[in-house]
Amino acid sequence: MKKLILLTVAMLAMAAVGCGGSQARAEDEWAVVNTSSVFMRGEASYTSENVSQSRMGTPVQVLERTGYWVKIRTPEPYEGWVNKLTLAPYPADYRSCERYICIREHSFVYAEPSFEATRLSDILMSDIVRARKAQAGVSSAKAGSRKDSDASGWAAVQLWDGRGGWVPAADLTDFAEWMADGGALAAKACQTGTAGSGLAVSEIADRLVSTARLFLGAPYMWGGMSAGLFDCSGLVGFCYFMSGIQLPRDASQQIKCGIPVEFSDMQAGDLVFFGEKRVSHVALCTGPGRIIHSSQIVRENSLVKGEPDYYGRNILGIRRLIGNCSKKEIVKNSALYFAK
Predicted local distance difference test score (pLDDT) of residue 198: 65
Overall number of domains in the chain? 3
Condensed to tens digits (0 to 9), the pLDDT of residues 22-66 reads 344 455 899 999 999 999 999 999 999 999 999 999 999 999 999
Q: Tell me if 290 sits within 8 A of 272, measured CB to CB.
A: no
- Does some domain include residue 57? yes
Spell out the residues 6+ positions from residue 102 whose beta carbon is closer than 8 angstroms to its own.
123, 124, 125, 126, 127, 128, 129, 167, 171, 172
Q: Domain with 250 in it: what CATH number?
A: 3.90.1720.10
Angle, in degrees to the nearest 10, between helices 199-213 and 175-188: 130
Both 105 and 123 in a single domain? yes
Secondary structure element (H or E) that encloses residue 252, with its range: helix 251-254
Predicted local distance difference test score (pLDDT) of residue 328: 87
User: Quick check: 99 pLDDT over 50?
Assistant: yes
Spell out the residues 6+ positions from residue 9 whose beta carbon is closer than 8 angstroms to its own.
none
Query: Percent of the chain beyond pLDDT 90?
Result: 76
Both 194 and 327 in a single domain? yes
Both 242 and 265 in a single domain? yes
Both 170 and 254 in a single domain? no
Final residue in a domain of this structure, among 149, 175, 201:
175
Distance CA 197, CA 181 (A): 18
Both 163 and 249 in a single domain? no
Distance CA 71, CA 303 (A): 40
- Does some domain include residue 115? yes
Domain interval for residue 231: 189-331
Global confidence as pTM: 0.86
Spell out the residues 6+ positions from residue 80 whose beta carbon is closer than 8 angstroms to its own.
40, 41, 42, 51, 52, 71, 72
> What are the catalytic residues?
232, 281, 293
- Does some domain include residue 339? no
Predicted local distance difference test score (pLDDT) of residue 240: 96
Both 325 and 195 in a single domain? yes
- Does some domain include residue 83? yes
Q: Tell me if 115 sits within 8 A of 149, measured CB to CB.
A: yes
Both 264 and 327 in a single domain? yes
- Does some domain include residue 184? no
Condensed to tens digits (0 to 9), the pLDDT of residues 203-224 reads 899 999 999 999 999 999 999 9
Distance CA 52, CA 331 (A): 19
List the single range of 44-53, 138-147, 150-159, 244-253 with lowest mean pLDDT: 138-147
Condensed to tens digits (0 to 9), the pLDDT of residues 7-24 reads 443 444 333 333 333 344
- Does some domain include residue 338? no
- Does some domain include residue 164? yes
Other CB atoms within 10 Å distance of the CB of residue 210: 12
